[in-house]
Amino acid sequence: MPENEQSDLIQQREKKLQAIVDLGFEAYPRKYDVTHAIPQIVTENSPLSAEQLAANKISVRVAGRVMTMRPHGKAGFAHLAGGGKRLQIYVRLDAVGERDFELYKLLDLGDLIGVEGYLFRTRTGELTIHAEHLQFLAKAMLPLPEKWHGLTDVEIRYRQRYLDLMVNEEVRTVFERRGKLVRAVRDFLEAEGYLEVETPMMQPLAGGAMARPFITHHNALDIDLYLRIAPELYLKRLIVGGLDRVYEINRNFRNEGISTRHNPEFTMLEFYQAYADYHDMIALTERLLRRVAEAVLGSVEFDYGDQRISFAKFEQITMKDAVLKYWPSEVEALTPAQLDDAQAMADRIPGLNQWLIQRGVAPIPADAGHDKRSGELLALFFETVAEERLIQPTFIVDYPLEVSPLSKQKPENPNFVERFELYIGGMEIANAFSELNDPEEQRNRFQYQQNLREKGDLTAHAIDEDYIRALSFGMPPTGGEGIGIDRLVMLLTNCRSIRDVILFPLLRPEKHIE
């Protein structure tokens, strides 16, 4: 924000900083040796009574940010924040001396200080440091947000996440859980014999998913590169090379819309296991998610909005059955056989659109019925009628061939592939399949995608000749999966927006900042 708007406040604080320096304190000292972190003191001493604290006289030296001040003439209280906890300090003129008490009086909310003293309980029973010495550590030149309501303006919360973290304690919890979740994923896969690897974020072809990429340029080589939309094809090259169990947790970049469930850069876990198929991936996913929930929440059940979600049991249903199960009664019914019949499905689009419009949802484009094949329509219908209804963890299996360019066909029905997506809380969380390892069939699939691309579908998969070459050296039968980490964090932190689980979500650049 412009400096002139707050020049009075800043000038006041500059004067105070000068006064602090005049007392003999450094304006920006190098370090402060603490004996304890604030949460440690709170945890360790909570059980101790006032009498026990008085008898033991436990000396501590801590540092933190001043969050509240209650001066009382020649004494005063303050709360220091650190490590997500607050601890009260009590400063008396006769205990800290003139110089330190002058410092106390010059403090502003937001300043960083060190305190040395001993623990006691106040009359109201609050654990407090009886200060014997104060150290000035850094000045807050700008004022903190209001102390009761905190900071609610979501734009400032996202743009100035440091403020959000300072004053909204639950925000810290979200990101602590996110860290625990990623840690738990790594521990689990490590124990399963997986190797963590890193593959290119800048790729000459943006493969492995269907999405529009970001494009960039390398000057020395004078080539265009794409920020990756998925690591998939590189990880499978590693399977070819004999790294039989690999995983990667890192960012993907997709040049698509922004919403409460989409950020242009998002974190994806992908893992590949040689000599396994998608059934093995289902079993692994169930174990992984239970382990992660236990690690993060200590439970496999949790609230998400007004729903109670349990990882104790995972449903499994084919895409066709899901469409039939959730097909709206207001629309003319479909028989199972008609789900292979593009014409029969196209005939339902007008009725379906009427139903969608009544519910305030945008209809399916009118031309969808003309040029789409039955598998594409099936996937479209699934997303339209079933996806948001899948609250409890549900594996949707048997995906149509047309929307699955990298998956192996089902032996008993080549129009469908060995693939699943896992839905929880109405969101797609995971996508997995038995990996296609037949190089000729892969070439055919790429060719089909290429045709879509030439018809104007910018998300259709590009032909990757080196990937076909890699498959031509022989890839073992392999199960592979991707899990959207941000959405998993949303579930386990009860956040409705992906921006609440990404520290610095992409926003339009701020205009008026100097």
Q: Tell me the closest approach of the beta carbon of residue 136 to RNA, in angstroms.
A: 15
354 touches RNA (CB under 7 A): no
Q: Tell me the closest approach of the beta carbon of residue 297 to RNA, in angstroms.
A: 22
How many other β-carbons are positioned within 10 Å of the β-carbon of residue 50?
14
Adjacent-strand bridge partners of 417: 399, 409
Task: For residue 476, give the 3-state DSSP assignment.
Answer: coil
Q: Tell me the closest approach of the beta carbon of residue 245 to RNA, in angstroms.
A: 23
x-or-dash pattern for RNA, window 422-461, by CB under 7 A?
Answer: -----xx--x---------------------------x--
C-alpha to C-alpha distance for 92 and 108, rounded to whole angstroms: 17
Listed ranges 72-80, 313-321, 347-355, 406-414: which one lies at the site for RNA (CB under 7 A): 72-80
**Number of residues binding to RNA, judged by CB under 7 A:** 76
Cα-flanking dihedrals φ and ψ of residue 351, to 5°?
-65, -40
Q: How many CA atoms lie within 13 A of 501 on its CB side?
A: 28
143 touches RNA (CB under 7 A): yes
Q: Tokens representing 462?
A: 């590009």
Interface with RNA (CB under 7 A), residue from 30, 217, 455, 508: 508
In terms of Cβ atoms closer than 10 Å to its own Cβ (0-12, 13-18, 19+), residue 514 is exposed
CB closer to RNA out of 79 and 445 = 79
- Tokens 């022989």 correspond to 474
Report the site for RNA in 179-198 (rule: CB under 7 A). none
8 Å CB contact between 398 and 278 = no
CB closer to RNA out of 427 and 471 = 427
Q: Tell me the closest approach of the beta carbon of residue 486 to RNA, in angstroms.
A: 6
C-alpha to C-alpha distance for 36 and 66, rounded to whole angstroms: 17
x-or-dash pattern for RNA, window 154-183, by CB under 7 A?
Answer: xxx-x-------------------------
Q: Tell me the closest approach of the beta carbon of residue 82 to RNA, in angstroms.
A: 16
Interface with RNA (CB under 7 A), residue from 242, 257, 456, 474: 257
507 touches RNA (CB under 7 A): yes
The torsion angle over the Cα atoms of residues 392, 422, 227 and 238, rounded to 10 degrees, is 140
The amino acid sitting at 298 is G
Report the site for RNA in 203-242 (rule: CB under 7 A). 209-211
8 Å CB contact between 320 and 336 = yes
Strand 195-196 and strand 85-92: pairing? unpaired
Report the site for RNA in 463-492 (rule: CB under 7 A). 484, 486-487
Q: Tell me the closest approach of the beta carbon of residue 456 to RNA, in angstroms.
A: 12
Q: Over the range 242-271, which residues count as b (16 or more CB within 10 Å of their CB) and which as e?
A: eebbbbbbbebbbeeeeeebebbbbbbbbb
Cα-flanking dihedrals φ and ψ of residue 172, to 5°?
-60, -40
Listed ranges 140-148, 241-249, 323-331, 342-350: which one lies at the site for RNA (CB under 7 A): 140-148
What is the per-residue DSSP string for 446-461?
Answer: HHHHHHHHHTT-TTSP
How many other β-carbons are positioned within 10 Å of the β-carbon of residue 25?
20
Q: Tokens representing 155?
A: 């734009």
120 touches RNA (CB under 7 A): yes
Listed ranges 38-46, 270-278, 330-338, 357-365: which one lies at the site for RNA (CB under 7 A): 357-365
Report the site for RNA in 100-119 (rule: CB under 7 A). 108-109
C-alpha to C-alpha distance for 167 and 145, rounded to whole angstroms: 7
CB closer to RNA out of 140 and 344 = 140
x-or-dash pattern for RNA, window 363-382, by CB under 7 A?
Answer: --------------------
Report the site for RNA in 262-321 (rule: CB under 7 A). 262-264, 266
Task: For residue 49, give the 3-state DSSP assignment.
Answer: coil
Q: Over the range 165-195, which residues count as b (16 or more CB within 10 Å of their CB) and which as e?
A: bbbbeebeebbebbebbbebbeebbeeeebe
CB closer to RNA out of 48 and 75 = 75
Report the site for RNA in 19-48 (rule: CB under 7 A). none
8 Å CB contact between 300 and 288 = no
CB closer to RNA out of 259 and 444 = 259
Interface with RNA (CB under 7 A), residue from 73, 242, 456, 474: 73
362 touches RNA (CB under 7 A): yes
Interface with RNA (CB under 7 A), residue from 47, 193, 360, 411: 360
Listed ranges 7-15, 305-313, 370-378, 447-455: which one lies at the site for RNA (CB under 7 A): 7-15
Q: Tell me the closest approach of the beta carbon of residue 185 to RNA, in angstroms.
A: 17
CB closer to RNA out of 320 and 487 = 487
